Structure 1
């Protein structure tokens, strides 16, 4: 089997690049890009020289690219070709990968309300806890189960701030002291993704003034990344509940994550959770 960097895999990638560019070129008519038709064409779509003109590159160079030859390409040239061929964002990223480059990171909005589809997913996830947070770790949606299980209040607006300042959550979280360093380190890693965004620094500075524990951890400059975690909760009404938490990026809103919690297998968490939510008059669906 060919490895990702073997000659065979490079040949496959060039073949796919050739076929991809030809197929995208064939679907764009001169009228689509404001060019004259120029009479009958043997094949549909733009000619290679027309793509080259639109992209501002040499005809020979574009021909070599479409033929899958081993030539150097830049991000600027790929962007120009993507515009000439009217590529969508997914197609543009695909072109980058076929050309051997990493696609540019999609810009992220500081905060965006969850889409109706994500809200329905979050509601359907009940009776299991779940929430959505933006790139600054602000809550943008929290389901009722998360509020009941983790003690989130209506005044809790930021996941990081709540972790270090919500006394009720801190009491509930069985492994708070062991988890705190990873939480602070993960926020620093996220902040590094957006070096020009001052909001991360503002949040960290304000939180350090309010929480000596966070101030000490933030001063370590540790970084960590994780897409999953285990949360153990000692709930006064339900006893010990253990959840596997999974962080799912939301591609339509870069920087935002959906965090879903599942009762850990081999524990009594599912039964305890259902009993707790019934006590709070939350509907627990029957299996099947």
Structure 2
């Protein structure tokens, strides 16, 4: 395989992220998950490089170069084959495609719109009286509603949501399922970094946060990714107790670098909930 003639340093950060992602995903898949018989004791977790290469139908040397971040030409067919071998989901596959220098494929169809209409209608109807905010590519607040500023203690434009969560105990205490929330924030931050693969500010923010928060460092090393999505989130309110919100994160058409986050409280009675600790990439979320 011939290496490309890119200028020195071109794409280096992108290939570094690609190397780290592929290795993390390979080490998190067991031989049994892909139908391989594990008859010997292994020194390292997960699959071996030669096993991934065999599953993807590519040469061992070639896959090794890919995982090492060599400056080689990677076809979409190979990216798709390796994605299948590593059992990547839609968001992980999109992340891989971008790091490999290709436009990602369209994600598989989700649930039908008619099954989501009622929830989306409630979201739109309740937006004016519920928290909503827009963040930039790094998770810094660009715009926030009054209820969002009050609930999440947003003091000024530029407050970083990821930084606040992992460095301010009072912020984490708002979430009975804090481990799940933290995991999602880090996965979304990493997914954003792939949209701007040569932007080194993501790495600088991650380095600073890793020094201040061991939990962030652990989750960052997991290389999990998640894109804009709809989810449920429990939040402890000062007077109403724990309430359940529908939360939607979407891209802003007029500003592709930004993400819009909307919350709508579900019409149900407050419920008591206690956080559960979880450690590591495979720990069960609350």
Greater relative contact order (Cα < 8 A, sep 6+): 2
Query: TM-score, normalized by length of structure 1?
Result: 0.47
User: Which entry has the higher C-alpha Rg, 1 or 2?
Assistant: 1
